[in-house]
Structure 1
Amino acid sequence: MEEDNHLPTPATSSSSAATDHSDPSLQRKHAAMIERLSNLHQNRSTRKPDPESNSTTSFLSRFFQSKSSIESTLTRIRQTAEPQSDPTLKPELDNVSISITNLEKLVAENSFSLPSYEVRTCLKTVADLKQFVEQVTCEVIPRKKFAFKNKSAKKIPVQKDVAYENRMDTESQGSGFRILENSPGFRDKKNEDLVKEFNRDNDGEIREFVLSDLRHCDVRLMGCVSALFVNKLIDCKVYVGPVFGSVLIEEVENCVFVMASHQIRIHQAKGCDFYLQVRSRPIIEDSNSVRFAPYCLKYDGIEKDLEEANLGEETGNWSNVDDFKWLRAVQSPNWSILPENERLGTVDISN
């Protein structure tokens, strides 16, 4: 940098000595170059670094402060809440969900200036927080209204949904559906209409249900189930009433699903359409060409079933899809919103 300061002096002297003999246009160009060098040196000398401009350290500090605050709030709710008497629980949990959404937006806004490892770590943290808030919600929101008529609430333990979440995690890690061999369901069917109505007075308790190895089948499930497991379906149409807990879908192709649930996870889906009403954001992994639209199912008594399952309110989450294998800030190319002119109308499965 000191060489820049000394350049003007000899250059200026040479320029002065040559005033009577040099081309005037060359002199002007030379003077302009000297002025640029001088200004460049001055700017470098006075410019101060901005330590807060999108630095990784600043971002991580803000991110983990928010994460700790969210975890502290959820832990406090879980430890102190009285589900049967506290009307403030739902608004507080809704606020926590908003905080998690804002945290996810913060990662997206800073993703281009962060190392890829930090982006992956932060997105995984956000996903864990979403699961945490869903588990706490299942534990502390009153569950008595979920019971069937004339049956004891003891048949639907508060922790049951958490157990289903843990089971879903096990399923998604490659264990398949072997542990569900004795669960009721439709299996190994082709070209059939498969109908099941869950009778709230006679079934005794909410049951899980399995759909496995189906081809070219229409499936209609009316009433409520506790959890739904779907595996290896091709060219099927599946219409499902409310699911109290979670839905896990694996290895499906060219299918249509119409379902309402608290959580929906989709693995290895190709060319499928999903019409959803869901409490949390749908999750896809290793899927492509999947499209999403709002729930459109109807049957006699569905409004009451949705209310009992705490799924009567439209959350808009059907269009807020998380692709766990897509870590960039822009939307994943593996899913899209189903155009309105291609959507099903209301599907009535009463008859």
Structure 2
Amino acid sequence: MSSEREVEFLKLQEERLSALEKRKAERKEANQSSEQLNEFLKVFYSLKSETETELEKLGKLTSDAEKKSHLNSAQTKVNCLQDLLNDALSYLPAYDLRKSQDAVTTIHENIARVQQVILPKKKFAFGKKKNAAANINVTEKKANSDNKFSKYTGDVIYENKSNETLNIPKNEIHKKDVLLKNLTNCTVNLKSTMGTLHCTNCTNCTFFVGPISGSLFLESCNESVYHVTCQQARIHTTHAATFYIHVTSKAIVEDCKGLKFGIRDQFYEGYEDDVAEAGLGETNNWDDVDDFNWLSKDPSPNWSTV
């Protein structure tokens, strides 16, 4: 064999070995990812089942103390579910991520609904009459919506207002689930710890929001600005909105365009105490956003940083 042929032969052998090693590494990585995914799904759905069983037990209890204990247990478990999901974001396929996140959201909503039925709180709604001191009149209402979060009612409801500044008293929203609906050209101040915040059909509004121990849910909140701190953010069918946000898990967007994300830089007196009360840490994933409509590895065109 000539020297040239020997060199060519050795080169081909080296390329074959390199390709073989690459395929082996890819198979190993795929197997590891598959094992990791299977382990996540096993633990996640086992804990999900435990949480749902906890909620089912509530209907058979008579003692308020027992009901509160089981509700707290269910809430702790769903928080663990969210933590599991947050830790798995880097390797979960889009389908499993969406399905798991929807499961967590459903349980959050079921807990709120069960709490309203078994341990009801006094509900408030923002009425049409104005109070001379605060321009707020609270009356009992039920929220009806045809949108994605239509089953949600909330403990506190403010709706159908235009061109107003809403300074909502802390004692009305403290640790409660709040629904804001059909607001236009409003400035909304929510300077307190809350459980969850739902905003539906709010246009050209500015929101200054205290720490949310659970989730921020938005739909059809166009051309608005949010200064918000939360554990989780889910944003749907929203266009041209800006978020100055502190979020401890990834924000999730779906059917959105023209969103901007920046670091929260406006606060209020007592904010740090509220953050501690909400149990939110220093981790801030303000620029780590999952777009369910953009599965490519390239950056999504539907959001950008400020």
User: Quick one: distance in 1 between partners of 2:108 and 2:86?
Assistant: 25
Q: Does 1:252 align with 2:218?
A: no
- Going from structure 1 to structure 2, the CA distance change for 1:47 and 1:224 (only over 3 Å counts) comes to closer
Correspondence for 2:36: 66
* Contact map agreement 1:70 1:99 (CA 8 A) in 2: no
Whichever structure has more helix as a proportion of its residues is 1
User: Quick one: distance in 2 between partners of 1:298 and 1:131?
Assistant: 31
RMSD: 4.3
TM-score normalised per structure 1: 0.57
Correspondence for 1:241: 210
Correspondence for 1:32: none
Correspondence for 1:290: 259
- In the TM superposition, what is the alpha-carbon distance from 1:93 to its structure 2 partner? 9.7
- In the TM superposition, what is the alpha-carbon distance from 1:69 to its structure 2 partner? 3.6
Q: Does 1:316 align with 2:287?
A: no
Deviations, residues 25-83 of structure 1 (Å, cap 9, x unaligned): xxxxxxxxxx89x958x949x9466175288755532211112344556679898xxxx
- Going from structure 1 to structure 2, the CA distance change for 1:98 and 1:52 (only over 3 Å counts) comes to farther
Deviations, residues 143-189 of structure 1 (Å, cap 9, x unaligned): xxxxxxxxxxxxxxxx86773599xxxxxxx7545434575222111
Correspondence for 2:118: none
The structure, 1 or 2, with the larger RCO (C-alpha pairs under 8 Å, 6+ apart) is 1
Q: Which amino acid aligns with 1:194?
A: L
Deviations, residues 229-288 of structure 1 (Å, cap 9, x unaligned): 101111110111111221110012111011111111001111111011122110001111
- Going from structure 1 to structure 2, the CA distance change for 1:75 and 1:210 (only over 3 Å counts) comes to closer
Following superposition of structure 1 onto structure 2, how do residues 104-253 of structure 1 map, counting pairs within 5 Å? 122-127=93-98, 163=111, 175-180=147-152, 183-199=155-171, 206-253=175-222
Between the aligned residues of both structures, percent identity stands at 24
Correspondence for 2:123: none
- In the TM superposition, what is the alpha-carbon distance from 1:310 to its structure 2 partner? 0.9
- In the TM superposition, what is the alpha-carbon distance from 1:330 to its structure 2 partner? 1.6
Correspondence for 2:55: none
Q: Which amino acid aligns with 1:278?
A: V
User: Quick one: distance in 2 between partners of 1:72 and 1:177?
Assistant: 28
User: Quick one: distance in 2 between partners of 1:185 and 1:97?
Assistant: 30
* Contact map agreement 1:165 1:246 (CA 8 A) in 2: no
Structure 2: unaligned runs, 5 residues or longer: 51-71, 73-79, 115-145
Larger Rg: 1
- In the TM superposition, what is the alpha-carbon distance from 1:205 to its structure 2 partner? 7.1
Structure 1: unaligned runs, 5 residues or longer: 1-34, 85-91, 105-121, 136-158, 167-173, 339-351
- Going from structure 1 to structure 2, the CA distance change for 1:221 and 1:127 (only over 3 Å counts) comes to same
